[in-house]
Amino acid sequence: MSAAPARIPESLLPLAVPIDDLAEYHRNPRAGDVDAIAESRRVNGQYKAIVVNRGTHTSRPNEILAGNHTWAAAKQLGWEQIAATFVDVGDEDAARIVVVDNRTSDLAGYDSELLADILEELPNLDGTGYGQDDLDKLLDHRALPATIDLPSHGQGIGAMVKLEYLQWGYLQWSSMRVQITAAEVETLNQIYERYTTENRGDLGFGWHLLQEAQTETAEAPDVEVKAAPDEPAGDEPGEDDGDQEDEDA
Of 194 and 229, more confident: 194
Q: What is the pLDDT of residue 246?
A: 45
Radius of gyration of the chain, Cα coordinates, nearest whole angstrom: 33
Least confident of 74-78, 184-188, 194-198: 184-188
Considering only CA atoms, which of 144, 125, 145, 143 is closest in space to residue 134? 125
CA 78, CA 76: separation in Å to the nearest integer? 5
Phi, then psi, of 41 in degrees rounded to 5 = -65, -35
- What digits encode the pLDDT tens for the residues 140-180? 766 555 444 544 454 444 444 444 344 456 777 766 767 77
Q: What is the pLDDT of residue 157?
A: 43
Q: Are 102 and 29 in contact (CB under 8 A)?
A: yes
pTM (2 d.p.): 0.51
CA 208, CA 93: separation in Å to the nearest integer? 63
Q: What is the pLDDT of residue 144?
A: 53
- What digits encode the pLDDT tens for the residues 211-226? 765 555 444 455 454 5
| Cα separation values, 84 from 87, 96, 97, Å | 10, 19, 15
Give the chain's mean pLDDT.
75
Coil, helix or strand for 90? Answer: coil
CA 20, CA 220: separation in Å to the nearest integer? 69
Decide the pairing of beta strands 81-87 and 50-53.
parallel
CA 95, CA 65: separation in Å to the nearest integer? 8
Residue 229 CB neighbours (<10 A): 5
